[in-house]
Chains A and B, each alone.
Chain A
Amino acid sequence: MNSALHPKAALASETVLSAQGLEMRFGGIVATNCVNLDLKKGARHALIGPNGAGKTTFINLLTGVLQPSAGRIVLEGEDISTLAPNERVGRGMVRTFQINQLFDSMTPLQTLALVVSQRSGLGRRWWPSLGHSQQVAQRCEELLTKFHLAEVMNQRTRELAYGKRRLLEIAIALACEPRVLLLDEPVAGVPAGEREELLQTVAALPADVSVLLIEHDMDMVFSFATRMTVLVNGAVLTEGTPQEIAADPRVKAVYLGHGEGAGA
């Protein structure tokens, strides 16, 4: 089995992020129903489920955009359930958005310089200019090159093509130097040519960064993930290796059924 030979398997014992009995109610509707999920150190974990299964709600709970009705979130041994979103980012949990959330009036260079400055604790500096620190500028250059944004770095973000905007969306998250990275459908809407690059960048993340991927594209999920959780109607249906999930008849019934039908 491929995943057993994976070098990251050695690290797999240590839990980095743990959701314990997370529950979210909107009025009478239970969007997230007692979800437990452990993310191991260095994991490449995928969260799948049909539309409306509560995947994005779950991410919003983890990042603190929503406050859970019940349950706890533990990041590296610390209960972060009550922390504000920005404080969770400070502790290394970073997300990307399914719909691009960018700073439209800034350029990609300014955006990344801001994010890198904020991450290195320079976000409160008010006298030196944004370009003052050489380390920040160097880090920006690395990121711009890595994400193929160098040639558009001085254009306004609102004028960029969709593919570039998508790359910037991911670049912002990586500029935060995450230890836990939550990717919400990272390749959604990315043209085929740029998709490969994006996938390679995600795959090339340092081994100690733990990734939770939400994705509809099954090819991507199976090529990327070493562990999968299936969410249905706000609750965990099952969890296992990609092979186990692919073989699970319940998963086929609710989620992969139509895919198998098309394949057969």
Chain B
Amino acid sequence: MQTLSAQASLLQQSRIKPLELVFWLLAFAAPVLTPSHALIINEIAIVALFAISLDIILGYTGIVSLGHAAFFGLGGYAAALFAKHVMPDPMVGLAVGIAAATLLGLIASLTILRGSDLTRLMVTLGLGLILMELANKLDWLTGGADGLQGVVMGPILGRFEFDLSGQTAAYYSLSVLLVFFVLLRRVTQSPLGATLMAIRDNRLRAMSIGIPVNSRLTLAYTLAAAVAGAAGALMTQTTGFASLDLFEFHRSADVLLILVIGGTGWLYGGVAGAIVFKLMQDFLSSITPQYWMFWIGLFLVVLVLVGRDRLIRPWTWLGTGRKGQS
């Protein structure tokens, strides 16, 4: 009889694969290899961080959300206000942005414990709208519809000044993305991460094996909010500007699209989706600045109907089509 090796099998799943190292090396080489694209690399890293934060609740825990921008925006505004009024150090500002979003996530998690997916969609959507209108109304603090101007950032760690080409910004965002990626990778492969997936798969059974479901949902939601806050803080720090756009509904929707493109329940899905979405947006809007959403929409329809696995393997389209008919 073959020998069992439960431990080896379990450890196999959490091993770091060579392809992952290649990916991260390429990512960190990119701002040097193509300095002219440093700005978009920065933006991709931020959106990727935002996307993996949503994946923690959507893909790993099974909480749907249409208002994830609430945490992104709050983190962004908190970091920008801190830089403007207290001190310009980016790392401290980042911590402040994360702290603000964490607190909001902890409070808002009370609203997602009960109810169905539809309830959650509405509640999270509502939260996003509330935050945006608050930022709009409190114009003495936030600058209202004009946005918060005059955010000047100090050098990172007191050494690396933000430059106009965006190289420093790209490295800053990539580093923060990597730190959170490693952290979330550990979390998702730990026993704690397994309890979240158990809740996603079958809440009733999760409870029946002793998992405290509500406190785990709270934890996942707060963690996701914290990471989204970090992404928002990176956004305002690297652009030197905070506007109501941070809270806009399209941000919550875009990040959902990104996860649909890249795949949920898989941290690289958020990263891959962010790369595809941002490059496509960049490319299409340079061709047709006003109507690029048309092509994004078309792409989504095709993607969802054909399926991600088949879309990247065009040679399988015919084969599976026949199989479907027979």
Contact = CB atoms under 8 A, between A and B. Distances in A.
Interface of A: 63, 65, 84-87, 89-90, 94-95, 97, 101-106, 109-111, 113-115, 117-119, 122-132, 134, 137-138, 140-141, 144-145, 150, 153-154, 172, 175-176
B9 A109 contact: yes
B13 interface: yes
Nearest to A134: B7
Contacts of A111: 198
Nearest to B213: A86
A123 B212 CA distance: 10
Given A105-B201, A105-B265, A113-B191, 18 more contacts: A63-B208, A65-B204, A86-B211, A86-B212, A89-B210, A94-B209, A97-B205, A105-B197, A106-B194, A106-B197, A113-B6, A124-B191, A127-B186, A127-B190, A128-B191, A129-B186, A129-B190, A150-B4
A235 B202 CA distance: 31
Interface in B193-222: 193-195, 197-198, 200-202, 204-213
Nearest to A92: B210
B43 to A, nearest CB: 30
A154 B2 CA distance: 14
A126 B196 CA distance: 11
Given A103-B198, A113-B6, A129 B210 contact: no
A145 B265 CA distance: 30
Contacts of B194: 106, 110, 113-114, 117, 130
Contact of A125 (B6, B192, B213): B192
Nearest to A85: B207
7 contacts: A103-B197, A103-B206, A114-B198, A128-B190, A129-B186, A141-B4, A176-B210
Contacts of B201: 102-106
Given A106-B197, A106-B198, A141-B6, A118 B13 contact: no
A87 B265 CA distance: 28
Contact of B210 (A119, A125, A144): A119
Contacts of B197: 103, 105-106
B209 A89 contact: yes
Contacts of A132: 11
A207 B186 CA distance: 40
B188 to A, nearest CB: 9
Contacts of B11: 129, 131-132
Contacts of B6: 109, 113, 131, 137-138, 140-141, 144, 153
B263 to A, nearest CB: 13
Given A86-B207, A101-B205, A131 B10 contact: yes
Given A118-B191, A126-B192, A140-B6, A131 B210 contact: no
Q: Which of B10, B189, B191, B192 has the most chain A CB atoms inside 10 A of its CB?
A: B191
A132 B189 CA distance: 10
B190 A101 contact: no
Contacts of B312: none
Nearest to B189: A129
A171 to B, nearest CB: 11
A246 to B, nearest CB: 33
B9 A153 contact: yes
A89 B202 CA distance: 16
Contacts of A137: 6-7, 10
Interface string B174-198: 0000000000001101111111011
B316 interface: no
Contacts of B187: 126-127
Contact of A114 (B13, B191, B213): B191
Contacts of B213: 86
A103 to B, nearest CB: 4
Nearest to B190: A126
A144 B205 contact: no
Which 10 A-B pairs rank lowest in CB-CB distance, beginning with the nearest?
Answer: A131-B10, A137-B7, A89-B210, A101-B205, A117-B191, A103-B201, A129-B14, A114-B194, A131-B11, A126-B192
B37 to A, nearest CB: 35
B309 to A, nearest CB: 16
A137 B8 CA distance: 9
Contacts of B186: 126-127, 129
